Chain A
């Protein structure tokens, strides 16, 4: 990197220009204390823009210097155009070679590269040299996330929304994105359930011609959400169950009939009856749990009673 180390007046630095900002960490207390004690060890990188300077890297260091009321700082100035691929590479590598970037930082880095590279392939080539993912499909996903609303990005950062769910949400109409994201993150569930809830909601809405926002405010959902008692995860279980009944009414009815019959059978814990998956095949199975020959005989006796029960016949037929 060609650069000059110069003493720069702080007020000449445009601290509001975030064009090259990659970091999502805005916390400056610690760095501020360190700068107060020993000054800036690693000078930030700046590029000149007429009479002012734009920050290429070192956003937090400069904020900390402002907080410490410095009038000048030592900085590296680079001789490139103010918006250039060279500056972008410096901005990214200054972060990516020092620590593992989180998803949103990776997305910001990819977004920056999209200003200078025309095709996903070109972006991938540059990205892989900058310690970023070099896979085109991941790059395309990161580019989508880089355009997401800050609220959605924050949910991803705080692990309340998976990237997969966020990508699904990005396919929705603008007015639906944030409400769906808020709804899903409020339930504190893992990736698979997030995805399932998303699919259930969107498919019900599409199939029944109901606006997603209307669906989200239907009584069965709001009652669950407003219930003070259960934990978010239990709310999620309940909402998922109700959505499944709505999306798959006949299958849900068959499942509930089966479980009612099971209750009537009063199976001993040593015997488990398994229905065919989704009742597609006709094969039912039993699991028997025993620890000794005597227990096996006992299972056999109980199994005979179950088989003779008319409810068992009803289940199979």
Chain B
């Protein structure tokens, strides 16, 4: 993580977690009494997104750590729960929604982890079958090795049998995972894209081969794996490139250890377009054939999405007919035409249940209440 200054919320400045965190970064830090001043530095800068990635604010989460995934209207959501450990990201993908999600966009990490674990233990005591991830508002592993929260999470999840933790990343920061008892309750997942998209659109992320090598190492450590093709980007010869990525996945890891693979085509809220135009002037990804979706987001024209999904599903099926491949935020028509069935036609009757079933199988969940 490359940042130039750390700001510390007075409320967390004396916590041992904070002291340990800053001791590992060796970067100038100062205590903030008025958060608004910090927010103003970011929002009044020439490029708030870049400024927000350059500063780190260690603070407390005053709300709840465990949240329902916001999903989107009119399209099928996976029913995942978010563990909100921090916000924003030190890597810099052109398409990243987080650039317009936070006001102002600023790298924040929550130090009041005691509250996080209290909430989590309370959730575990309900024995609700759940899939919980830390990679929605940030990348799950950019906080390694300054924070030990991820390590503690892996251990905490290993002690129960009703929930799985999904760590979603574009990094290869897996060093700490090797020494942990995980009991297969943590799924390591990587967002993948073609070599050319990684190179042109995913600044500061690990290369495709590094990600897959890390996945193979995690498999060797006994962790279940998952992969996310999100966002799929349409460009000339993209199908061939995605086929290459799929080949590489199966050259590195075995299909039996993959819990799921998700596919989601590039979609964005309209306010992201000027940000990409300004911050990534060479990027062409916003000039595809986009229409306004039913949720107000820009999406590729439906037949184009279906065509790409069909191809990618067939490539995956060539290697393994059994892996659960699911679509992110798509409607029944797209499901039917891409995968041959809709979630309600599946024996599990819904996408969340389909994913639950795979989590049960791969992560040995057996003491749970399914809602």
Contacts and interface: CB of A to CB of B under 8 A. Distances in A.
B287 A207 contact: yes
Interface stretch (A51-59, A227-235, A279-287): A279-287
A251 B299 contact: no
A206 B285 CA distance: 11
B291 A278 contact: yes
Interface-centre pick from B292, B302, B303 (highest chain A CB count, 10 A): B302
Contacts of A277: 291-292
Contacts of B287: 203, 206-207
Given A203-B287, A248-B289, A249-B289, A279 B301 contact: yes
B289 A280 contact: no
Given A250-B289, A251-B289, A280 B284 contact: no
Interface string A92-129: 00000000000000000000000000000000000000
B284 A207 contact: yes
A278 B287 CA distance: 17
Interface-centre pick from B294, B301, B331 (highest chain A CB count, 10 A): B301
A263 B333 CA distance: 26
Interface in A203-233: 203, 206-207
A75 to B, nearest CB: 45
Interface in A18-66: none
Contact of B291 (A203, A206, A207, A251): A251
Contacts of B264: none
A15 interface: no
B294 A280 contact: yes
A180 B317 CA distance: 50
Contact of A282 (B289, B291, B292, B333): B333
A250 B291 contact: no
A254 interface: yes
Contacts of B299: 280
A280 B292 CA distance: 8
Contacts of B331: 281-282
B333 A250 contact: no
A254 B303 contact: yes
Interface residues of A, number: 15
Contacts of B222: none
Contacts of B302: 279-280
Nearest to B290: A248
A204 to B, nearest CB: 8
A31 B16 CA distance: 80
A248 B288 CA distance: 8
B104 interface: no
Interface-centre pick from A203, A250, A277, A279 (highest chain B CB count, 10 A): A250
A215 to B, nearest CB: 14
Interface in A278-312: 278-282
Nearest to A278: B291
B277 to A, nearest CB: 9
A108 B303 CA distance: 51
B304 A250 contact: yes
Nearest to A203: B287
Contact of A250 (B284, B294, B301): B301
A237 B150 CA distance: 58
B352 interface: no
Nearest to A204: B287
A274 B271 CA distance: 29
A282 B74 CA distance: 12
Interface in B291-312: 291-294, 299, 301-304
A206 B289 contact: no
Nearest to B300: A250
A155 to B, nearest CB: 24
Contacts of B292: 277-278, 280
B351 to A, nearest CB: 19
A35 B78 CA distance: 80
15 contacts: A206-B287, A207-B287, A248-B301, A249-B289, A251-B291, A277-B292, A278-B301, A280-B291, A280-B293, A280-B294, A280-B302, A281-B294, A281-B331, A282-B331, A282-B333
Q: Which 10 A-B pairs have the closest CB atoms?
A: A278-B291, A207-B287, A251-B301, A203-B287, A248-B289, A250-B301, A282-B333, A250-B289, A207-B284, A281-B294
Given A250-B301, A250-B304, A278-B292, 7 more contacts: A203-B287, A248-B289, A249-B289, A250-B289, A251-B301, A280-B302, A281-B74
